[in-house]
Chains A and B, each alone.
Chain A
Amino acid sequence: MEKSGSVDSLGSKRSSSRQPSVDSLSSTSTSRSDRSAQAKPPSAMSSDSVSTSAEFSPELRVKPKISAKQAIRDSDKEELQLLPNETVQDMAQDVTYFCPFTGALRGTVTVTNYRLFFKSMDRDSTFMLDLPLGVVSRVERIGNASSRDVSYGLVCKDVRNLRFAHKQMEDTLRKSIFEVLMKFAFPVSNGLQIFAFEYGQVFPENGWKVYDALSEYKRQGIPNESWRITKVNDHYELCDTYPSTLAVPVNIPDEELKRVAAFRAKGRIPVLSWIHPESQATVTRCSQPMVGVNGKRSKEDEKYLQAIMDANAQSHKLFIFDARPSVNAAANKMKGGGYESEDAYQNAELVFLDIHNIHVMRESLRKLKEVVYPNIEDSHWLSNLESTHWLEHIKLILAGALRIADKVESGKTSVVVHCSDGWDRTAQLTSLSMLMLDGYYRTIRGFEVLLEKEWLSFGHRFQLRIGHGDKNHTDADRSPVFIQFIDCVWQLTRQFPAAFEFNEYFLVTILDHLYSCLFGTFLCNSEQQRLKEEIPKRTVSLWSYINSQLEDFTNPLYVNYSNHVLFPAVSLRHLELWVGYYIRWNPRMRPQEPIHQRYKELLAKRAELQKRVDELQREVANRSASSASERPGSPTRSITPVQTFV
Chain B
Amino acid sequence: MLTGSKTTFKVRQMLPDIKERMLSQTGVNARSRDLFGLRCLPGECVLQRAVMVRKKLTAREGRGWLSGTLFCTHFRVAFVPQDSPKPDDNADPVLLGDHDVALASIEKVVVVGPNRTKLVTPNSSLKFTPEELVLYCRDMRVVCFLFDRLTPESQVQEMTYSIAKTYQPPKPGSVLSFQNAALGSVEMKQFLSNRRRDAHMNWFESASDWEQELERCGATSWRVSSVNDRFEMSTSLPRFIVVPQKVLDTELKKSFAHFNEGRIPRWCWRHPRGSDLLRMASFQNNIYHEKDDIRNLEMILFGCQSSLCVVVELGEELPSPADIQLAHSRLRALCLGDISTSMSVPDDKWLSTLESTHWLDYTRSCLRKASEVACLLRGGHLTVALQEVEDRDMSCVVSSLVQVMCDPHCRTMYGFQGLVQKEWVMGAHRFYSRINYHRDNDKEEAPVFLLFLDCVWQLWSQYPSRFQLTEDFLLALHDSVHLPLFSTFLSNCQRERCKRSQNLGQCYTPVNGWRDVLHPDSSTDPSDPPLPPVWDWSLQYSKPRQSRFTQPVPPTPPLQPLLNGNLNTNPDKHRLTDAVPGSVFLLSRGTFSCPTNLLPWRSSSSSGVYKKSHRRALSSENVPGLERLLKAWALVEFPQALTSTSGPQGPLDPYEPLLPLLMGPCMGLWRECYLRGALHAQAFSHPLSANHLHPVERLAQEVQQLKDKLEQVSTSTDPTPPAVTTEPRRADTNLNQNTNNGTFLFPASRPQSAGALRAAPLPTSANQHTSRGAPAASAPQSRPAHKDTGGSSKHTFLFGHSSVIDAHPDQRYYSASSTAKLPKSNGPSLAS
Interface flags for A557-591 (1: CB within 8 Å of B; 0: not) read 10101011111110111100101000100111111
Instruction: Judge whether B598 is part of the interface by a CB distance below 8 angstroms.
Output: no
Q: Closest residue of chain B to A372, judged by CB?
A: B665
- Chain B binder among A219-227, A332-340, A455-463, A636-644: A636-644
Residues of A590-614 at the interface with B, using a CB-CB cut-off of 8 Å, are: 590-595, 597-599, 601-603, 605-606, 608-610, 612-613
- Chain A binder among B40-48, B286-294, B672-680: B672-680
* Bound Cα distance from A602 to B735, whole angstroms: 12
Q: Is the Cβ of A593 less than 8 Å from the Cβ of B646?
A: yes
Which residues of the other chain, B, contact A102 by a CB distance below 8 angstroms? 636-638
Instruction: Judge whether B716 is part of the interface by a CB distance below 8 angstroms.
Output: yes
Q: Closest CB of chain B to A580's CB: distance in Å?
A: 10
Q: Closest residue of chain B to A392, judged by CB?
A: B348
**CB within 8 A of A571: which of B349, B678, B710?**
B678
Q: Is the Cβ of B647 less than 8 Å from the Cβ of A594?
A: yes
Interface flags for B604-642 (1: CB within 8 Å of A; 0: not) read 000000000000000000000000000000001111101
**CB within 8 A of B664: which of A123, A378, A620?**
A378
Instruction: Judge whether B650 is part of the interface by a CB distance below 8 angstroms.
Output: yes
Instruction: Judge whether B350 is part of the interface by a CB distance below 8 angstroms.
Output: yes
Which residues of the other chain, B, contact A642 by a CB distance below 8 angstroms? 781-783
Instruction: Judge whether B533 is part of the interface by a CB distance below 8 angstroms.
Output: no
Which residues of the other chain, B, contact A13 by a CB distance below 8 angstroms? 807, 811
Instruction: Judge whether B714 is part of the interface by a CB distance below 8 angstroms.
Output: yes
Residues of A343-377 at the interface with B, using a CB-CB cut-off of 8 Å, are: 372, 376-377
Q: Is the Cβ of A592 less than 8 Å from the Cβ of B695?
A: no
**CB within 8 A of B784: which of A8, A559, A620, A639?**
A639
Which residues of the other chain, B, contact A634 by a CB distance below 8 angstroms? 712, 716
Q: Is the Cβ of B553 less than 8 Å from the Cβ of A602?
A: yes
Residues of B667-725 at the interface with A, using a CB-CB cut-off of 8 Å, are: 671, 675, 678-687, 694-696, 699-700, 702-710, 712-714, 716-717, 720, 724
* Bound Cα distance from A15 to B569, whole angstroms: 8
Q: Is the Cβ of B649 less than 8 Å from the Cβ of A58?
A: yes
- Chain A binder among B5-13, B375-383, B544-552: B544-552
Which residues of the other chain, A, contact B680 by a CB distance below 8 angstroms? 569, 574
Instruction: Judge whether B232 is part of the interface by a CB distance below 8 angstroms.
Output: no
Q: Closest residue of chain B to A62, judged by CB?
A: B638
Q: Closest CB of chain B to A624's CB: distance in Å?
A: 9
Q: Is the Cβ of B728 less than 8 Å from the Cβ of A612?
A: yes
Q: Closest CB of chain B to A107's CB: distance in Å?
A: 15
Interface flags for A1-30 (1: CB within 8 Å of B; 0: not) read 111100110111111011101100110010
Instruction: Judge whether B16 is part of the interface by a CB distance below 8 angstroms.
Output: no
Residues of B518-568 at the interface with A, using a CB-CB cut-off of 8 Å, are: 543, 547, 550-554, 556, 564, 566-568
Given contacts A101-B637, A383-B352, A646-B763, contact A3 B832 (CB under 8 A): yes
* Bound Cα distance from A591 to B696, whole angstroms: 19
Instruction: Judge whether A616 is part of the interface by a CB distance below 8 angstroms.
Output: yes
Given contacts A645-B763, A646-B763, contact A564 B683 (CB under 8 A): yes
Interface flags for B26-65 (1: CB within 8 Å of A; 0: not) read 0000000000000000000000000000000000000000
Given contacts A19-B651, A376-B664, A395-B347, contact A612 B637 (CB under 8 A): no
Q: Is the Cβ of A616 less than 8 Å from the Cβ of B713?
A: yes
Instruction: Judge whether A201 is part of the interface by a CB distance below 8 angstroms.
Output: no
* Bound Cα distance from A267 to B764, whole angstroms: 67
Which residues of the other chain, A, contact B651 by a CB distance below 8 angstroms? 15, 18-19, 22, 66-67
**CB within 8 A of A381: which of B355, B710, B713?**
B355
* Bound Cα distance from A606 to B704, whole angstroms: 9
A-B contact count (CB 8 A): 310
Q: Closest residue of chain B to A559, judged by CB?
A: B695
Q: Closest residue of chain A to B686, judged by CB?
A: A563
Q: Is the Cβ of A25 less than 8 Å from the Cβ of B738?
A: yes
* Bound Cα distance from A26 to B652, whole angstroms: 14
* Bound Cα distance from A619 to B723, whole angstroms: 14
Instruction: Judge whether A315 is part of the interface by a CB distance below 8 angstroms.
Output: no
Q: Is the Cβ of A646 less than 8 Å from the Cβ of B639?
A: no
Q: Closest residue of chain B to A22, judged by CB?
A: B649
Given contacts A589-B663, A631-B716, contact A3 B830 (CB under 8 A): yes
Residues of A111-170 at the interface with B, using a CB-CB cut-off of 8 Å, are: 123, 125
Q: Is the Cβ of B768 less than 8 Å from the Cβ of A646?
A: yes
**CB within 8 A of A64: which of B640, B704, B807, B829?**
B640
Residues of A48-75 at the interface with B, using a CB-CB cut-off of 8 Å, are: 50, 54, 58, 61-64, 66-67
Q: Is the Cβ of A645 less than 8 Å from the Cβ of B552?
A: yes
Q: Closest CB of chain A to B315's CB: distance in Å?
A: 20
Instruction: Judge whether A172 is part of the interface by a CB distance below 8 angstroms.
Output: no
Q: Is the Cβ of A4 less than 8 Å from the Cβ of B710?
A: no
* Bound Cα distance from A561 to B681, whole angstroms: 15
- Interface of B, secondary structure class, is helix
Q: Is the Cβ of B778 less than 8 Å from the Cβ of A646?
A: yes
Q: How large is the interface on A (under 10, 10 to 19, 20 to 34, 35 or more residues)?
A: 35 or more
Instruction: Judge whether A84 is part of the interface by a CB distance below 8 angstroms.
Output: no
Q: Which of B644, B664, B724, B832 has the most chain A CB atoms inside 10 A of its CB?
A: B664
Given contacts A572-B350, A588-B636, A642-B781, contact A635 B713 (CB under 8 A): yes
Which residues of the other chain, B, contact A638 by a CB distance below 8 angstroms? 705, 708-709
Which residues of the other chain, A, contact B705 by a CB distance below 8 angstroms? 638, 641
Q: Is the Cβ of B348 less than 8 Å from the Cβ of A386?
A: yes
Q: Closest CB of chain A to B256's CB: distance in Å?
A: 35
* Bound Cα distance from A338 to B679, whole angstroms: 35
Q: Is the Cβ of B710 less than 8 Å from the Cβ of A17?
A: no
Q: Is the Cβ of B807 less than 8 Å from the Cβ of A17?
A: yes
Q: Closest CB of chain A to B205's CB: distance in Å?
A: 21
Instruction: Judge whether B465 is part of the interface by a CB distance below 8 angstroms.
Output: yes
Q: Is the Cβ of B765 less than 8 Å from the Cβ of A645?
A: yes
* Bound Cα distance from A409 to B688, whole angstroms: 14
Q: Closest residue of chain A to B567, judged by CB?
A: A11
Which residues of the other chain, A, contact B335 by a CB distance below 8 angstroms? 573
Q: Which of B640, B662, B665, B671 has the most chain A CB atoms inside 10 A of its CB?
A: B665
Q: Is the Cβ of A589 less than 8 Å from the Cβ of B826?
A: no
* Bound Cα distance from A382 to B668, whole angstroms: 11
* Bound Cα distance from A245 to B432, whole angstroms: 72
Q: Closest CB of chain B to A74's CB: distance in Å?
A: 12
* Bound Cα distance from A623 to B720, whole angstroms: 9
Q: Is the Cβ of A54 less than 8 Å from the Cβ of B551?
A: no
- Chain B binder among A258-266, A323-331, A492-500: A492-500
* Bound Cα distance from A239 to B764, whole angstroms: 66
* Bound Cα distance from A606 to B809, whole angstroms: 23
Q: Is the Cβ of A635 less than 8 Å from the Cβ of B716?
A: yes
Interface flags for B319-356 (1: CB within 8 Å of A; 0: not) read 00000000000000001000000000001111110111
Q: Closest residue of chain A to B465, judged by CB?
A: A598
* Bound Cα distance from A496 to B696, whole angstroms: 12
Instruction: Judge whether B212 is part of the interface by a CB distance below 8 angstroms.
Output: no
* Bound Cα distance from A40 to B524, whole angstroms: 78
Q: Is the Cβ of B832 less than 8 Å from the Cβ of A645?
A: no
Which residues of the other chain, B, contact A472 by a CB distance below 8 angstroms? none
**CB within 8 A of A646: which of B414, B663, B709, B811?**
B414
Instruction: Judge whether A272 is part of the interface by a CB distance below 8 angstroms.
Output: no
A residues at B contact (CB < 8 Å): 1-4, 7-8, 10-15, 17-19, 21-22, 25-26, 29, 50, 54, 58, 61-64, 66-67, 101-103, 123, 125, 372, 376-383, 385-386, 389, 391-392, 395, 409, 495-499, 557, 559, 561, 563-569, 571-574, 577, 579, 583, 586-595, 597-599, 601-603, 605-606, 608-610, 612-613, 616-617, 619-620, 623, 631, 634-635, 638-646
16 sampled A-B residue pairs with Cβ under 8 A: A29-B649, A125-B638, A391-B351, A497-B696, A557-B696, A567-B682, A569-B679, A589-B665, A593-B647, A595-B465, A603-B699, A606-B703, A620-B713, A635-B713, A641-B708, A643-B778
Closest 10 CB pairs of A and B: A381-B664, A382-B355, A102-B637, A609-B706, A498-B695, A386-B351, A383-B352, A26-B649, A11-B569, A3-B829
- Known A-B contacts: A61-B647, A568-B681, A639-B712. Give 13 more (CB < 8 A): A12-B569, A376-B664, A380-B355, A382-B351, A382-B354, A385-B351, A559-B695, A571-B350, A574-B671, A589-B666, A605-B553, A635-B713, A644-B552
